Amino acid sequence: MVSRATLRSNDVGIKHDVQSVLRHIFDDKRCIFSVSWSMLVRWVAPPAFAFSQDCQVDLGRIALAANAFDEQSTTTMRPSARRLMAFTLSATRPHSVSFIGLGRMGSPMAYNLFSKSVAESEGTARFVVCDARTAVAEAFAADFVKQFPGTQVDIANSPEEAVLASQTVVTMLPSTPHVRNVYAESGGILPALLRLPREAVQSTLCIDSTTLDVETARTLVARADKIGVRMVDAPVSGGVAGAKAGTLSFLVGGTNTAFELARPTLERMGKHIIYCGGSGAGLAAKICNNLVLGVQQIVVSEAMLLGQKLGLQPKVLASVINTSTGACWASSVNNPVPGAVPDKSPPCERDYEGGFATRLMLKDMGLALNIAESTKTAMPLGAAAGEIYAEVIADDPDAAEKDFSAVYRYLRLPKNKED
């Protein structure tokens, strides 16, 4: 056990003793790594590092950090990156959670997760955010720290940095290719974990809330399980409004053990945490749910258009539907007609900005159709709905980023069809 000694770049007096300690540690035949005094000094300037009886030195992480600092000195790294390196060199990653993907859903989810964690930890929790758009991550971190002064929110430059900083990693990404990239490619989560000691790997929990194809999810979970990482698929239902309110439903697939480990984190972001079964079961449930939602939004749009043709006021018709057997989320919360649900604030009130992008609904319809084909399941309405959402985007490319209730606008406009 190494005695406690705080190292700073100007503590020359203890240089020889520390070199001796490091030389003894790194001469161990079990270790193939090496680290120089200059590397260590560059790391501890300006942060300080303490060897103590309650902090075991992690050789793999020290070597990884040293190599990183060889490539990029502390003078060019952001303060948040230096703190991430400090996390990386610590033997454990206590009270730390990383969130990757700060889009329409991810940003409010991360906010709820972090803010509730701050309250429960009495201000000792650490957070890391990561997004392909660095400016988005920086803005999120700045805003959160402004609202919760004294809170530490670091910015990871890559999924690798994010997982090296935290035991728990939550991902909310657009689609299957993004998940493959974040988890499996170079600079991703799973390759990074291979560099850590087994104990550190086994203490890692990955929660993926992306809606992606079931087979890819199962393949990644199998790969994670092989190295000892706990991982669950936990797609959500409830939309942007639910993400902001913290009332999302999480549909979880994975082992019972992984589910129970993930539950506290999920409860900080959602209201209903539903265990659906083994790996991929959460995604299977989500794809089926979105199949219903996608079809419903089109039918509600058709009904609202028909009612107006018959002289009904949108508000009156919506009230009838929402209190009758036609009641559904697509009408009561996400009604596509401005003014139809005055007690709500659906995307149609903002020119269909925000909400669930049409391109993502088209993606989910595609996932359902692919599964239907492979399982030989008849899905005529799903197929028709998929074609309609594709036409919405083809007719107006800008609609791809609009809420999928913009299908109402597409149906309302006359189509110039050839006879």
Q: What is the CATH number of the domain that holds 394?
A: 1.10.1040.10
Per the listing, tokens 């090496």 go with: 34
Residues 69 and 200 in one domain: no
Residue 86 lies in a domain: no
134 and 245 in a common domain: yes
pLDDT for 125 equals 78
> Does the reported pTM lie above 0.85?
no
Residue 67 located in a structural domain: yes
Torsion of CA 322, 323, 327, 333, to 10 degrees: 30
- In a domain? residue 87: no
Same domain, 155 and 270: yes
Q: Within a domain: residue 80?
A: no
E-strand stretches of 47-190:
49-51, 96-100, 126-130, 152-155, 168-171
Same domain, 249 and 300: no
Count Cβ atoms below 10 Å from residue 225 Cβ, excluding itself.
15
Which pLDDT score, from 0 to 100, does residue 171 have?
99
Rounded average pLDDT per 10-residue block, the chain, 419 residues: 26 36 35 30 30 34 38 38 49 73 97 93 84 97 94 95 96 96 96 93 97 96 97 95 96 98 98 98 97 99 98 98 98 97 95 95 97 97 98 97 97 68
- Is residue 227 domain-shared with residue 195, that is, in the same domain? yes
Q: Which residues of 381-392 are buried (b: 16+ CB within 10 A; e: fewer)?
A: ebeebbebbebb
- Does 204 share its domain with 62? no
Give the model's pLDDT for residue 123.
Answer: 66
Q: Catalytic positions, please?
A: 286
Please, what is the end-to-end C-alpha distance for the chain in angstroms?
85
> Is residue 84 one of the residues assigned to a domain?
no
Residue 65, in any domain of the structure = yes
Domain that holds residue 18: 5-73
Is residue 202 a contact partner of residue 225, using CB atoms and an 8 Å limit?
no
CATH of the domain at 106: 3.40.50.720
pLDDT number for residue 416: 57
Q: Are 339 and 395 found together in one domain?
A: yes
Q: Indicate whether 192 belongs to any domain.
A: yes
Is residue 176 domain-shared with residue 237, that is, in the same domain? yes
Q: Would you list the DSSP string of 325-385?
A: TT--HHHHTT-SSTTSSTTS--GGGGTT-SSSBHHHHHHHHHHHHHHHHHHT---HHHHHH
Among the candidates 219, 243, 278, a domain finishes at 278
Query: How many distinct structural domains can be found in the chain?
Result: 3
On whether the CB atoms of residues 59 and 33 are closer than 8 A, the answer is yes
Asked if the structure places residue 304 within a domain, the reply is yes
pLDDT at 41 (0 to 100): 28
Q: Are residues 156 and 245 in the same domain?
A: yes
Residues 374 and 313 in one domain: yes
pLDDT at 150: 87
Choose one of 228, 245, 278: the last residue of a domain: 278
> In angstroms, what is the C-alpha Rg of the chain?
25
pLDDT for residue 59: 36
Question: Is 128 in the same domain as 254?
Answer: yes
Q: Which residues pair with 151 in a beta bridge?
A: none
Residue that is last in its domain, among 278, 309, 336: 278
- Looking at the fold, whether 122 and 193 belong to one and the same domain comes out as yes
- Quick one: the chain helix, strand, coil %, rounded to 5? 55, 10, 35
